[in-house]
Amino acid sequence: MASQVKSRQRVQDHGEVFTNEREVNAMLDMVKQETERIESRFLEPACGDGNFLAEVLRRKLAVVNARYRRSLSEYEKYAFIAVGSIYGVELLHDNAVTCRERLFSIVEDDYIRVCKKNPTPGFLDAIRFVLDRNVLNGNALLLKQVDENGADTEEPIIFSEWSIVTGDKVKRRDFRLDEMLEGSAEQVQFSLFGSSGTPTSEWELDPETGAMIPKPIWEYPMVRFYEVQNNE
């Protein structure tokens, strides 16, 4: 079993204690159906080095494998959707880096088994790019980005939404996390890209979730999902 602490100093400075595998699985089993729904979005606001997100990704990829491994293009499409649905915020820079690498390795290892010796150019680069946008170094309490030393900045946390529109074409839209969570304290629950206290004139209907969401701060042209890293 992996250690739940890296050092006493980090516990004292940051309250850093990792959730062990048994608890991770027990908690995720409480929402088992969602962990196995490929497009279901998960946000971990204190993701550490990825204990929860890694297990969510493994479960999603198991479904992708079971359904689509006989067609490489279909596997790639739904693996991209699975990765694009996972979000994390982490205060400590080294943890955020480790989390991204950990999630990438899970996809890479699985993909190599599926594609064997015929990987599609750009696929793994696209996965790495999405993870760089989805797992961010930030303070989830203040909803701000932090620098490499963990110091708060004035930059808001901005997440990207990745939506397959048709075939292999993906639409990227960027949202501020504080706008998505604004007013949510009075709500029983919220869904990522699915609620906001923003004035209703600035809302729009999300066709995927059926919920009202704030308008994005930026929209990108549709591209093949293999090419999202070239569309910054």
Residues 194-229 pLDDT 10s? 444 444 446 677 666 666 678 899 999 999 999 999
More confident residue, 136 or 7: 136
Q: Whole-prediction pTM value?
A: 0.83
SS3 content of the chain, % helix, strand, coil (to 5): 45, 20, 35
Contact 222, 170 (CB under 8 A): yes
Most trustworthy range by pLDDT among 5-9, 10-14, 100-104: 100-104
- Asked whether the predicted pLDDT for residue 12 surpasses 60, the reply is no
Query: What integer is the mean pLDDT of 20-32?
Result: 88
| Residue 3, in any domain of the structure | no
Number of folded domains that form the chain: 1
- In this prediction, residue 142 has a pLDDT band, given cuts at 50, 70 and 90, of very high
Structural tokens at position 147: 């620098």
Q: Determine the pLDDT at residue 148.
A: 86
Please report the sign of the dihedral spanned by the C-alpha atoms of residue 141, residue 44, residue 108, residue 115: negative
First-to-last alpha carbon distance for the chain, in angstroms, is: 40
Q: Determine the pLDDT at residue 187.
A: 41
| Residue 72, in any domain of the structure | yes
Average pLDDT, the chain: 85
Q: Determine the pLDDT at residue 215.
A: 85
Contact 180, 195 (CB under 8 A): yes
Calculate the dihedral angle through the C-alpha atoms of 180, 159, 101, 229, rounding to the nearest 10 degrees.
160
Residue 211: which domain range? 8-230
| Residue 169, in any domain of the structure | yes
Q: Determine the pLDDT at residue 188.
A: 35
Percent of the chain with pLDDT over 90: 66
Q: Which amino acid is at 170?
A: V
| Residue 28, in any domain of the structure | yes
Per-residue model confidence as pLDDT tens digits over 49-108: 999 999 999 999 999 999 999 999 999 999 999 999 999 999 999 999 999 999 999 999
Quote the CA–CA distance of 167 and 202 in Å, as a whole number. 30
| Residue 2, in any domain of the structure | no
Quote the CA–CA distance of 103 and 36 in Å, as a whole number. 17
Q: What is the distance of C-alpha 69 from the center of its chain?
A: 22
Contacts with 141 (C-beta within 8 Å, 6 or more apart), sequence order: none
| Residue 1, in any domain of the structure | no
- Strand bridging mode 86-90 / 135-139: parallel
Is residue 2 classed as helix, strand or coil in its secondary structure? coil
| Residue 150, in any domain of the structure | yes
| Residue 163, in any domain of the structure | yes
- In this prediction, residue 23 has a pLDDT band, given cuts at 50, 70 and 90, of confident
